[in-house]
Amino acid sequence: MLHRGLRDPLAAVEVVNQLTAVYERFGTRVRFSNDLEEFYTVREEVRGGLPSPMFDFNVTGLKGKSFWLCLLNADDVVVGLQACRIDTVDTSLAEWAIGWMSGLYMKRDQLMVPERLKPYPESRSYQLKGNIVYHGELWIASSTRRQPGLADAFCFLGMVVSHLKWQPDATWALVSNTMATRGMATRFGYLRQERSFLNWKISPDDVPHNEWLLLLEKNDMEHLLEERASNGPITTEA
């Protein structure tokens, strides 16, 4: 059966050109890879720790179902990282997420105990299933965060590449209270956020006890691409 494809392929091309122009303006460039072993090494060198189990090649088999991006400055130093993976969810994101995440951490002998087994009943995640992209491992060097619009353009590129590569039913991410309350969702391109999507009674030190859900559904992404394409280049003004 013929895949539906992108609603407006030229809009996607225009947005990628806009994003590329932002990187070039600051003397940076983006590199794409689907080699998770390399990501493991780069992540450890840059951030001084292991990737989350969701992108740890030692505990998860993701051949052809993941990729990562790095942002390089003029000296070819890594100043930004992010990674995406696609999973098929047969029930709903709400029913699937906690068991999926805690199970991956257990494979690395890390205990995750939730406060509750499901998100609150009104969560949009109960309506989502199918091919869903998890967007994680987002890191931006402090020097890069001071460049207006650069971090936002880099993060949005991960979502755009996921859309072009897989055309998922939705893309989701988890962020801390600090990131959520500073407007990260809107700046990065997510059109929905939900407070306290996941709450952990016990979790590793690098996992917030209260995690917010950032969500972008397929039709929302199509709308964003068309809007950004028609409104011209993304501004780098503060």
Instruction: Find the CATH number of the domain harbouring 93.
Output: 3.40.630.30
| Domain ranges, residue 223 | 9-230
Burial-class residue 116 by CB neighbours within 10 Å (0-12, 13-18, 19+). exposed
Structure confidence at residue 233 (pLDDT): 53
How far apart CA 180 and CA 70 sit, in angstroms, is 23
Query: Number of folded domains in the chain?
Result: 1
210 within some domain: yes
Structure confidence at residue 236 (pLDDT): 46
Contacts of 26 (CB under 8 A, 6+ apart): 147, 150, 236
Helix (H) or strand (E) holding 83, with range, is: strand 78-89
Residue found under tokens 């619009």:
149
18 within some domain: yes
236 within some domain: no
Structure tokens at 131: 């091919």
What is the DSSP track for 30-46? EEEE--HHHHHHHHHHH
Residue found under tokens 């890594």:
78
Per-residue pLDDT of the chain (238 residues), as tens digits, is: 445 678 899 999 999 999 999 999 999 999 999 999 999 999 999 999 999 999 999 988 777 899 999 999 999 999 999 999 999 999 999 999 999 999 999 999 999 999 988 899 999 999 999 999 999 999 999 988 889 999 999 999 999 999 999 999 999 999 998 888 888 788 889 999 999 999 999 998 889 889 999 999 999 999 999 999 998 655 545 4
4 within some domain: no
| CB contact at 8 A, 197 and 109 | no
162 within some domain: yes
